[in-house]
Structure 1
Amino acid sequence: MSHIYEKMIANPKTVTLFFFLLLLFIIIVFIVGYYAWQHHTAEVVTYEKQIQAQTAEGIELAAKVAHIEMLESQLKDASGQITELANKPPEKVIVTVPYEVEKTVVKEVAAKGADFAIVTDSKDPEKEVNIKEITKLPENTPVTLNQYNVFAYKKVIRGINVYPSFNGIKPTGIGEITGDVSRKISNDGKYIGIVGGYDFDNKKVKIGLRVTF
């Protein structure tokens, strides 16, 4: 073990790379832990009146319950889409028993990759869904509900960056190309990921950490 340590000290580049990778590992572990804690304490399903779900205020309420931060423009867009969907046939019809409704809704949120969902009564827009009452109904009781999955942010974003070379102010070709893949780490749209590329001017491969906020 001492031999390896001495060899690392003798090569500054190896030491620098080691500590960079160690720091990167610590940052990723911390972020993943924080992300997992957020999702553990969040409620991804909110039960509302149909008329409430069609307002920005209704979307904001459901977003807060799910620990999701949305811009005002996002709230308006989401409420407008729910208003349009309310008058259209459902994309998917799921048949289940009353006591499994809540689990089924949560499962669909995960399957669709949505940030959260709003569930409303399909027949009475003025009535708020009471999930506790529904779960107590007899198994053969038909229940029809609307589920609106809300996508606030993409789970993964990808990017390609191209930088030109210059001779003074005149472009002479491609100087550098990088690509990155980042995953959402917070409910307010922050991302962390890996970026890699090639610097043609200096003939070097580059790799690093990207944080988007």
Structure 2
Amino acid sequence: MDWVYKNRRVLLWALALLIIAALAWFVWEKLHPAQPVTGESQHQAETTEGVALAAKNAHITLLESQLTEAAKQIAELKNKPPVTVVQTVPVEVVKTVEVERQKSGADFAIVTEPKNPDKQVDLKQVAELSADTAVTLNQYNVYAYRKVIRGVNIYPDWAESVKNAGPRIREVSFDVSQRITKDGKYLGVVGGYNFKHEEVRIGLRYSF
């Protein structure tokens, strides 16, 4: 506890900065709400730029490799029966797409018009069509999961930290996992060292 008392000013400043950052993020999110559904042309959806635009609208950050993978998958699905075809009245399009996106667990969705691959889908214009207009769109759900994830885990020894008035580490481990499903399940290996018991530890990690 002496360490906490001696560094109380630094800790209080750090806490204040965290609170300010959290408030700033909350205000920004309110002023710029995420749009998880983006309308595009089929050709645009098959490019990394098209996927990047949809990700940006959804406030999702993707690596270049993820953008390339998603664009490639959309292009491959072009000549196959789509996983999701939206058939509904105009005013319900966005709502229907969003329901399907949430059911699939995807981070965002791109919708295109199958009969007009060069046509840019404007969801606002679609919603303004007359109620008796039949709307058919292809929906591509995109998952923001990396192929490989790595992690470093540090386990403090709280009893020793308090006793010695300073941080003490009990164990450190490192893990590498490969994505095994498109909805974000991973399987990998983890290795670590326990300083207190002087043991090397190796195991498997399943993340979901």
Same fold (TM over 0.5): yes
| 1:43 maps onto 2:46 in alignment | no
Q: Is the 8 A contact 1:115 1:153 kept in 2?
A: no
- The runs of 5 or more residues in structure 2 that have no matched partner are 6-11, 154-169, 176-193, 199-208
| 1:137 maps onto 2:113 in alignment | no
Per-residue CA shift, 1:2-42, capped at 9, x if unaligned? xxxxxxxxx879x9xxxxxx99x989977876776665522
The share of aligned pairs that are identical, in percent, is 49
**In structure 2, C-alpha distance between the alignment counterparts of 1:105 and 1:44, rounded to whole Å:** 9
The residue number in structure 1 matching 2:201 is: none
**In structure 2, C-alpha distance between the alignment counterparts of 1:112 and 1:30, rounded to whole Å:** 35
Match for 1:53: what amino acid? A
* Cα offset, 1:121, TM superposition: 0.7
Figure out how many residues of one structure are paired with residues of the other and give that number: 164
SS at match of 2:88: coil
Q: Residues 178 and 91 from structure 1, CA distance in 2 versus in 1: closer, same or farther, beyond 3 angstroms?
A: same
The residue number in structure 2 matching 1:59 is: 51
The residue number in structure 1 matching 2:141 is: 149
* Cα offset, 1:128, TM superposition: 0.8
* Cα offset, 1:77, TM superposition: 0.9
| 1:80 maps onto 2:55 in alignment | no
Q: Is the 8 A contact 1:59 1:79 kept in 2?
A: yes
SS at match of 1:99: helix
- The runs of 5 or more residues in structure 1 that have no matched partner are 1-10, 16-21, 162-174, 181-198, 204-213
Q: Is the 8 A contact 1:38 1:67 kept in 2?
A: no
Q: Residues 158 and 77 from structure 1, CA distance in 2 versus in 1: closer, same or farther, beyond 3 angstroms?
A: closer
65-74 or 96-105, which deviates more:
65-74
Match for 1:74: what amino acid? Q
SS at match of 1:84: helix
SS at match of 1:69: coil
SS at match of 1:144: strand
The residue number in structure 2 matching 1:114 is: 106
**In structure 2, C-alpha distance between the alignment counterparts of 1:37 and 1:64, rounded to whole Å:** 18
**In structure 2, C-alpha distance between the alignment counterparts of 1:48 and 1:144, rounded to whole Å:** 14
Aligned Cα RMSD in Å?
A: 4.1
Per-residue CA shift, 1:83-103, capped at 9, x if unaligned? 011111122344432101112
**In structure 2, C-alpha distance between the alignment counterparts of 1:115 and 1:38, rounded to whole Å:** 19
Of 90, 97, 104, the residue aligned with 2:96 is 104
**In structure 2, C-alpha distance between the alignment counterparts of 1:105 and 1:179, rounded to whole Å:** 39
The 5 Å alignment of 1:1-213 reads 40=30, 41=32, 42-153=34-145, 201=196
**In structure 2, C-alpha distance between the alignment counterparts of 1:59 and 1:84, rounded to whole Å:** 14
